[in-house]
Amino acid sequence: MTKTLTFASMHFTIAFGVTYLLTGDIVVGGLVAIVEPAVNTVAFFFHEKVWNRVAARREQLGSEGVMAG
């Protein structure tokens, strides 16, 4: 859990820092530091669903090939 928290802190800090350097706006930097990880989390959820579906399909095709041969 500690590793997860330190990674999250690093992610927020980098997102804020990069945005602040690009815009010079502390509010925009703060918003991006909060919004970007939230959007990334939702995207990761759907990525995992697709990834698992593809893996299951490949496994199914692989076992069908073994049975057919």
C-alpha–C-alpha distance, residues 9 and 1, integer Å = 12
| The model scores a pTM over 0.85 | no
pLDDT at 68: 56
pLDDT at 4: 83
Q: Up-side HSE of residue 19: CA atoms within 13 Å toward CB?
A: 18
What confidence tens digit (pLDDT) does each residue in 24-54 have? 999 999 999 999 988 988 999 999 999 999 9
Domain extent listing, the chain: 2-68
The pLDDT > 70 percentage for the chain reads 93
